Structure 1
């Protein structure tokens, strides 16, 4: 198994009455809530946390892109990854950018260029995320018509891949973009292009498209494996089987919030308020209707949601839930190293997870506690996860080839 440290950059000091004063974490919060000096500190902490994870032995570091929001103030993750590409020089660590968000982009060639730059800067360690993106981010923040979001995405994807791979200068005369001459400089180090991961939340159309292109499907499991994931992940493997694709665990990436302490009780005491901050103030603050504005979700996706609303998990109840509820539902896997590794192995085996995105910072978690979480995870949990699929002998085709030899980590304790 490949294991990445995943970090978002939320605003960590929202007022206690934030949920009552503001209808949403997207656009509604007034700018004066976010002090620029605080944001500068948060960005430096994000870089430091990911660098700490890279040095601690994780296989990769991962971030996402979101605009005009409180829960992940990261409008351009490539800036952070450019810093990390240099800071991790010489370390066998993949740089997993789960944006730039293609569905909202008005400049797809810019995505191709910046990803090529990152691949060069990192000596071929980039994993290129090409997400459609959340509905509100594309359709409200960036003004993309909901009905056109997927069509624009498909054209942008074709243009990006051709720009990476074409051997001749070519014109592009698409529906949404026209260029008289495309001649990408620089080209990616990885040929024909970096491995592509596509984040998604369960729509069958996206799964079919990802499988048809032989990309890695990345499920962002904010709502835990016991409700939402047990609806979504079996669907993915069922579609893969129908399409004649092998059940290679490395074609699936899975995000899981993880907090580790010396004991289960200490984990609740240390992390509980920060976990609740994330789910109450951040995630629950996205208006449910904005996750799928009319026209954004295709017909098969709507049909699945109507037949089985488990894809959304317990989203409407998030603000009524407490840490114990989140832990019981595995929205967060929390506890001692033994508790955490046992639960993670159970989830990975059930869903055939070949790439784990361990979210090791959450909500208002102080920086020092985030570093402790990363360190405990790397030392006490990671060594037990890494060999999970070795005995089955699968080839990992969705990872930078120069890093496939893997890296050493501390031996499992005991």
Structure 2
């Protein structure tokens, strides 16, 4: 098992009287650069602290025009962490490839990060969420085709001697010859996250990359998606290994179960009821019919629909409690899903710095060692009906 600390870098200062979306149209007058200065440095401190206390990796990501996440370029934040950390892998999950033209810019920047960190980069590639297509002007009906072609171009740029010509449907480059090249050979590990899209699973299985299940749905949705993932891999003639599958979950640890809930609950509701408002805006053409239908099957379990803490606990929307309780809950989830790495979202919504740091420390000191000891052999894949 490998353990990663993920950060969204959210905006925790939406006014009480603001009831609109946190995506696309949230007025940028609500952003205060002075507070932003404090937040960015605080959030980077939290990621650096995870490196110091022994996490295997740190995770940053990409969102645009949103109070939900303040990282329009994950590569910028990965670059800051590259020189301020010493041991943890740095996973940028990811670059939204259809938003980059040319995608060779991603190949170059990731290669720089890999070289500077001495081979600690994990290269995340994403299609990008539906709201990103409203804020970028990119045709959402071309999202998946652009993503697949850009991914092929990036991998070719890393592995094929240059210069060579790339003549795709969307990207036509006379000379592909990037300097630098990545340190990890043939290229850095590639992670592709997903919400259950069949097309994403098929691409990951075909290429042999790693799949990250995104959070905020009932645990049963994870079980159904991961069972489909395994069947997809087997159908592609591959047997998936634990390192091909990870799960992302909100996690909070305190000294007792009661204190953990009391300290965390209000911050969870700010996240689900305010920062996730508008996250499900999907432009026409973004999803294929079969993936749209599959997502619709799960939408009644999406975290903004959760009404009370009992549902949070039953659906594993957040893993909250004492070190003992969190260890027990996560051991059950890891065993049921068969994942090889766990990504924890340790800061959520308005959760303050001191509680975030304490939770990270308790998790590193009292949870990680027990989970490492409990999962020394590959997890068993559960057979769950699609």
Indicate the TM-score class for this superposition, using the shorter chain for normalisation: over 0.9
Residue 146 of structure 1 deviates from its aligned partner by: 1.6
Provide the C-alpha distance between the structure 2 equivalents of 1:218 and 1:365, rounded to a whole number of angstroms.
24
- Measured against aligned partners, the alpha-carbon deviations of 1:311-339 in whole angstroms (never above 9, x if no partner) come to x3523x72662344323321001011111
Residue 149 of structure 1 deviates from its aligned partner by: 0.9
**Match status 1:286 vs 2:278:** yes
1:197 equivalent among 186, 191, 195: 191
Counterpart of 2:8?
8
SS at match of 1:164: helix
Provide the C-alpha distance between the structure 1 equivalents of 2:261 and 2:242, rounded to a whole number of angstroms.
31
Provide the C-alpha distance between the structure 1 equivalents of 2:328 and 2:213, rounded to a whole number of angstroms.
21
2:107 equivalent among 100, 106, 112: 112
Alignment map for 1:161-310 (pairs within 5 Å): 161-225=155-219, 227-283=220-276, 285-286=277-278, 288=280, 290-291=281-282, 293-305=283-295, 309-310=297-298
SS at match of 2:284: coil
**Match status 1:100 vs 2:95:** yes
2:368 equivalent among 350, 358, 382: 382
Q: Which moved more, 1:232-241 or 1:335-344?
A: 232-241
1:374–1:332 Cα change, 3 Å: same
Residue 236 of structure 1 deviates from its aligned partner by: 1.0
Counterpart of 1:402?
none
Provide the C-alpha distance between the structure 2 equivalents of 1:189 and 1:237, rounded to a whole number of angstroms.
31
Residue 18 of structure 1 deviates from its aligned partner by: 2.3
Residue 303 of structure 1 deviates from its aligned partner by: 4.1
Q: 5+ residue gaps in structure 2?
A: 381-386
Provide the C-alpha distance between the structure 2 equivalents of 1:164 and 1:128, rounded to a whole number of angstroms.
12
Counterpart of 1:403?
none
Provide the C-alpha distance between the structure 1 equivalents of 2:363 and 2:127, rounded to a whole number of angstroms.
31
Residue 241 of structure 1 deviates from its aligned partner by: 2.5
**Match status 1:122 vs 2:152:** no
Provide the C-alpha distance between the structure 2 equivalents of 1:130 and 1:74, rounded to a whole number of angstroms.
15
Equivalences, count: 380
In 2, are the aligned partners of 1:164 and 1:193 still within 8 Å (CA)?
A: yes
- Measured against aligned partners, the alpha-carbon deviations of 1:152-173 in whole angstroms (never above 9, x if no partner) come to 1111111111111121201222
Provide the C-alpha distance between the structure 2 equivalents of 1:72 and 1:83, rounded to a whole number of angstroms.
17
Alignment map for 1:319-398 (pairs within 5 Å): 321-392=307-378
**Match status 1:71 vs 2:81:** no
Provide the C-alpha distance between the structure 2 equivalents of 1:55 and 1:172, rounded to a whole number of angstroms.
42
In 1, are the aligned partners of 2:111 and 2:182 still within 8 Å (CA)?
A: yes
Counterpart of 1:314?
301
In 1, are the aligned partners of 2:340 and 2:378 still within 8 Å (CA)?
A: no
In 2, are the aligned partners of 1:113 and 1:184 still within 8 Å (CA)?
A: yes
SS at match of 1:168: coil
In 2, are the aligned partners of 1:261 and 1:376 still within 8 Å (CA)?
A: yes
Runs (4+) of structure 1 moved beyond 6 Å? none
1:305–1:77 Cα change, 3 Å: closer
RMSD (CA atoms):
1.7
1:287–1:193 Cα change, 3 Å: closer
1:204–1:388 Cα change, 3 Å: farther
